[in-house]
Structure 1
Amino acid sequence: MALLLLSGILVRAEAAAVVARVDLSSQRMTVSVNGVPRYSWLVSTARRGYVTPTGVYRPQRLYREYYSRKYYNSPMPYSIFYSGGFAIHGSYAVNQLGGPASHGCIRLHPGNAATLYSLVQSYGPGNTRIVITR
C-alpha cells in the first residue's frame, strides 16, 4: 500500500477503489481499480505560466457537461473537479495531449474522460483518489 506524506499528513492513496495517478513529467495518467492497473492515457496539464497542483485529492463535484466560466465558455465534458476550479475533463484539442497545454486542469481525450467519469460515479467520489506528482 502506497503512503504519501503531504503537508505533514500521511495519506493512503491505495485505500480507494479507484486511483487516478497523474505524472506531470510524463504527461500520463494511470488508473487502477481495486489495486489493478486498468488504463494508461496521455494527458495535458498546465503550460508555462500556469500550474497544476500536486497532491492527493478526492473528487468534489462531477458534471457530465460543463462549460468554463473563466475561459471563453470552453467545453469541459465529463468534468471531475478535485480542488477549487481545477478539474480532470475531456478536451477536443486531442492533438495537444501528451504535452503541457492547459491553464492548470488535467485534459483527457473525451472517450477516456467518459471512462474515468463512469468509474468515479460507479465507485463513488469517496472511494476515488486523484494523485498528482511531478
Structure 2
Amino acid sequence: MNRIAFTVLGVAILCLLPIIGAAAPLIAKVDVSNQTMTVIQDGQVAHTWPVSTARKGKWTPRGAWTAKWLSRHHRSSRYDNAPMPFSIFFNGHYAIHGTNQIDRLGRPASAGCIRLHPDHAAVLFEMTRTVGLQNMKVIVHN
C-alpha cells in the first residue's frame, strides 16, 4: 500500500509543478492598452506606474518571461547609444528600463522596450536583484 501511496503522491507533485512554478515572488504586469505596469510582490500589488511601450510602427512583445539579466548603466546599441538605466532584460533585446523622456510616459513612445520613470525603474531593478532573476516574471498583455 505504501508503494501505491508514494506513486500517487509523486504523480500529483509532478502534475502540480507547472502550477507551483508559475507563481513568482515578483511580477511586473504590463497592460499595453492602458500603458501601465502593476508590480505584484508576494501576491500583493506593490506599485502601479505609467509606462511607454512601442510607438506606431514598432512592437512590444506579448507573453510571459522570466527576467534574464540586469544592466544598471545600459546604453542602447541599436538607438544611438540612448541611455537605458536600470535595465531588466526579459526577451532578447527587449527590456524594462528607465527613460529620460518622462513626459511621454502613459502613451506609446518606445521602439519596443517598456519604459519607466527612472525612479520607478530603480525600485523595480532593486526588487529584482533582491528576489533574484529566476523569481521575477514579466507579463505583457493588451
TM over 0.5: yes
Give the Cα–Cα distance (whole angstroms) in 1 for the partners of residues 63 and 127 of structure 2.
Answer: 21
Amino acid of the structure 2 residue aligned with 1:108: L
Match of 1:120 in 2: 128
Q: Helix, strand or coil for the counterpart of 1:45?
A: coil
* Residue of structure 1 equivalent to 2:25: 17
Identity %: 43
Alignment match, 2:63: 55
Equivalence for 1:6: none
1:67–1:34: structure 2 CA closer, same or farther, 3 Å change rule? same
Partner of 1:129: 137
Structure 1 segments, 4+ long, off by >4 Å, are 10-14
Distance 2:53 2:46 in 1: 21
TM-score, length-normalised on structure 2? 0.85
Q: 2:73 aligns with which of 65, 69, 74?
A: 65
Task: Structure 1: give runs of 5+ residues left out of the alignment.
Answer: 1-9
Aligned to 2:84, what secondary structure does the other structure show? coil
Q: Give 1:127 shift.
A: 0.7
State the Cα deviation string for residues 14-57 of structure 1 (Å, max 9, x = none): 61000110000000000011001010000000000000000001
More helix by share: 2
Aligned length: 125
Q: Match of 1:3?
A: none
C-alpha distance in structure 1 between counterparts of 2:28 and 2:71, whole Å: 17
* Aligned alpha-carbon RMSD (Å): 1.4
The secondary structure found in structure 2 opposite 1:64 is strand
In the aligned structure 2, how far is the partner of 1:13 from the partner of 1:26? 28
